[in-house]
Amino acid sequence: MTHAGIIANPASGKDIRRIVAYGSVFDNHEKVQIVRRILLGLEAMGVVRVSYMPDYYGIIERALDGLSINLKMDRLEYYLNMDQRDSTEAARLMAEQDVGCIVTLGGDGTNRVVAKGAGTVPIMPVSTGTNNVFPFMIEATVAGMAAGLVATGKIAAVEGAVRHASLEVVIDDETVDIALVDAVVCDDYFLGSRAIWKTATIKQVFLNRASPDNIGFSSIGGLFRTVAPEDPEGLRLDLGAGGTTVTAPLAPGIIAPVSIKAQSKMVCGEMHAIQHRPCVIALDGEREVEVRKDQQAFIRVSATGPMVVDASKTMAAAQRQGTLLNPKPKGN
């Protein structure tokens, strides 16, 4: 395989949390620069073809302007909705094309919708969003190299990527959506602004990963226990007065007390009921799913989440195998 994909979200890093918190703005000019370095990394590792998602800003086209590369660039052709469905469809088409790796530029929300379409294709997530837990803050050159090594098969996916667990939203016995980091139950029954930041409306938090050095809702659970991305388990938090109060970084520059009434481990496959209906469920930081009063809703941990390229692990494998070493000519 010498084929990779790129999905760059032009809307990531610009949501309401720039107003209500102190998040940095990732403008699209910076994404253009990041894509340039990724493309150079991909080519250096032997990738010859790159499929990419079209977008309203033209991130990839702008990145190619003046860039000296020999990659065959394929713009995916499909109906654009100009919303998150475009990323899911792009990932699905790339999976059909049998790309070896998909590089994403975005936050937790971007990678969630990409994972819905990518299937078993490894994802190399480069962070350009808000409250990021899933994607990596990494130099784009190295991200491109790691993605290229996996895409070309020079480093096998089992050596450079890790299968992450995920959270599944089940309503009336049907799996309707997924989350990669957290599913948060809010008692206000409207989508409104998709981003969520107020804790007063939050009743339950279901976590697929937790660490005390994360940001967002994952940090709350991390103050109780650590859940690694590949762990086939989760953590459930019930919020309410009279519990243990934790001080957590909920958003960039926002550190607040949160009262946890109860917390418990989520075993893989076990159904955990959503106790407050009607409600809205925010998935990886954005309100996505409405639950009516007459519906039965649950969250469960699935062990079959996305394959995620770990650049450090991939480059370490390249080191062990001497993949990037040029042997001396014989006779020297």
Q: What is the pTM of this model?
A: 0.92
Of 180-194, 226-240, 246-260, where does mean pLDDT reach its minimum?
180-194
Q: Give CA–CA dist 22/252, Å, rounded.
A: 5
Burial class (CB in 10 A: 0-12, 13-18, 19+), 286: buried
Q: Where are the beta strands (DSSP E) in the chain?
A: 3-8, 49-52, 72-75, 102-106, 123-127, 161-163, 166-171, 174-179, 182-186, 202-207, 233-251, 254-267, 272-273, 279-283, 286-291, 297-302, 307-309
Beta-strand pair 254-267/272-273:
unpaired
Domain limits, CATH 2.60.200, in the chain: 166-302
Of 14-28, 197-211, 231-245, where does mean pLDDT reach its minimum?
14-28
Answer yes or no: CATH 2.120.10 is held by domain 166-302.
Answer: no
At the second CATH level, the architecture of 3-164+306-321 is 3-Layer(aba) Sandwich (3.40)
Nearest to 226 by CA among 207, 203, 249: 207
Q: Is residue 174 a contact partner of residue 298, using CB atoms and an 8 Å limit?
A: no
Asked if the model's pLDDT at residue 20 lies above 70, the reply is no
What percentage of the chain reaches a pLDDT higher than 90? 82
Domain limits, CATH 3.40.50.10330, in the chain: 3-164+306-321
Of 80-84, 117-121, 192-196, where does mean pLDDT reach its minimum?
192-196
**What's the pLDDT at 187?**
87
